[in-house]
Amino acid sequence: MITVKTVRELRAAIARARGEGKRIALVPTMGNLHAGHAALVSKAGQRADFVVASIFVNPLQFGPSEDLDKYPRTLAADQEKLLEAGCHLLFAPSVEEMYPDGRSDQTIVSVPGVSEGMCGASRPGHFDGVATVVCKLLNMVQPDMALFGEKDFQQLAVIRKLVRDLNMPVQIFGEPTVRAEDGLALSSRNGYLNDEQRASAPVIQRTLKLLGERLQAGSSDFAQLIDDGRQQIEQAGLRVDYLEIREANTLQPARSEDKSLVILAAAFLGTTRLIDNLALHLD
């Protein structure tokens, strides 16, 4: 695996792989990699011949009071994990390389509809930052495909719409969330939790599963389900940011006739905000 830090080096390495007729997959990340990222990279290796990963803690997608400065930067450990997972090329640019004209002078890509509500409401500007950096990375690498985790369900919807609306010639794959044994979705932010918080965190997934079972059993009183779910999460000491039942493709509020649903949750443990979701199809 080679690591490059500039767009120029990236393009040269990609051109070589293309010259050898290779199909290229991109796995964009912000580093501090865990087994979920490794799964994306190995899946990319099954789908393509040449796997590119990027590590860039993107300042555009962090709000002013968020964890940009303390977000873990662990390049050496990440390089080892990427190598082991079968990555061929790592792009690890600086902020200056990504935003040479400065952040405030950067063209912003804004995806309407699916960016609104939930994480879009709690983190104003977040999805503009995500859409902008993903658009830039896709243009820099020009991969045949890009892979993202389904844990960030709303982000995935934003990226799918971005690619569709801008006619970008790339296939987007969403890959299943990787979980700890107790069900907690793997996330770089889990590292912020103390032991007590870590022990409480799986209540998010337990609640999603319970709500999913009630939906499958025919319950369509969404407001009641959400109330019960909130109560269960808050009893475990978390503060619910949002808990919503949405139509899985449009992310519009679910209606009783919808068959493809997703339950999405975000909750705080202290200052750490965790997200998770459960998609389900009603028979």
Closest separation between CB of residue 217 and ligand PAF, Å?
33
61 annotated binding-site participant:
yes
Q: How far apart are CA 24 and CA 13, in angstroms?
A: 11
Cα-Cα-Cα-Cα torsion 53, 58, 63, 68, nearest 10 degrees, comes to 90
Question: How far is it, in rounded angstroms, from Cα 272 to Cα 268?
Answer: 5
Tell me whether residue 170 is annotated as binding.
no
- The CB-of-167 to ligand PAF minimum distance in angstroms stands at 20
CA distance 194 to 172: 35
* Beta strands, E only, the chain: 2-4, 24-29, 50-55, 89-91, 145-149, 171-175, 239-247, 260-269, 272-281
Give how many residues touch ligand PAF by CB under 6 A: 10
Among 10, 13, 28, 144, binds ligand PAF (CB under 6 A): 28
Query: Do residues 94 and 5 touch, judged by C-beta distance below 8 A?
Result: yes
> Is 281 marked active-site?
no
Would you give the binding string for ligand PAF spanning residues 125-154, x where CB under 6 A is met? -----x--xx-----------------x--
Applying CB under 6 A, the span of 24-32, 104-112, 171-179, 223-231 interacting with ligand PAF comes to 24-32
Residues lying near ligand PAF in the complex (CB under 6 A) are found at 28-30, 58, 61, 130, 133-134, 152, 155
Where in the sequence numbering do the catalytic residues fall? Answer: 37
Annotated binding-site residues for ATP read 30-37, 149-152, 178, 186-189
